[in-house]
């Protein structure tokens, strides 16, 4: 198995994943857009989230639209997500990445925070590395 690490591909993937998290940042007047989010994905990409005890599967557009509304409505402010640790494995033009992340902001004027795990599957396409699927689950709330 040819596993690459610390190379140009990994640097590009780092930047792609940072852009993914940046879409959900509305601090300092930032306005998220569905177009910025969709540009990170390859054709036929999908997103799987774990909510309510079952996986929810959707397209990037279907996933991001209600979140853009939430991040633009004023009910969730000073919000951002960031990667806290990651592990990337690249084999040829394919890659997988396991990311731990944290998030925080104010939801309806109350502190909102959490952590979780995201799994990215990526492909090196003609236009560069793109996300083909992302799946994640938030950690259970403490307290």
Over the chain (143 residues), the average pLDDT of each successive run of 10 is 57 96 93 93 95 88 94 94 96 97 96 96 96 94 63
pLDDT of residue 1: 37
Residue ranges and CATH numbers for the domains of the chain are 8-137 (3.10.450.50)
pTM above 0.95, yes or no: no
What own/partner pairs with CB < 8 Å and gap ≥ 24 does 92-100 have?
92/2, 93/123, 93/124, 94/121, 94/122, 94/123, 94/124, 95/9, 95/13, 95/120, 95/121, 95/122, 95/123, 95/124, 95/129, 96/120, 96/121, 96/122, 97/13, 97/17, 97/122, 99/17
């Amino acid at each position: 198995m040819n596993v690459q690490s610390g190379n140009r591909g990994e640097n590009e993937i780092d930047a792609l994943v940072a852009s993914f998290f940046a879409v959900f940042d509305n601090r300092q007047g930032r306005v998220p857009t569905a177009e910025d989010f969709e540009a990170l994905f390859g054709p036929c990409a999908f997103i799987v989230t774990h909510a309510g005890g079952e996986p929810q599967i959707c397209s990037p557009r279907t996933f991001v639209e209600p979140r853009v509304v939430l991040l633009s409505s004023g009910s969730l402010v000073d919000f951002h997500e960031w990667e806290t640790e990651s592990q990337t494995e690249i084999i040829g033009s394919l890659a997988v990445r396991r990311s731990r992340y944290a998030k925080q902001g104010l939801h309806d004027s109350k502190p909102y925070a959490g952590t979780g795990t995201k799994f990215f599957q990526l492909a090196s396409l003609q236009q560069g590395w793109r996300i083909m699927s992302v799946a994640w689950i938030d950690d259970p709330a403490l307290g």
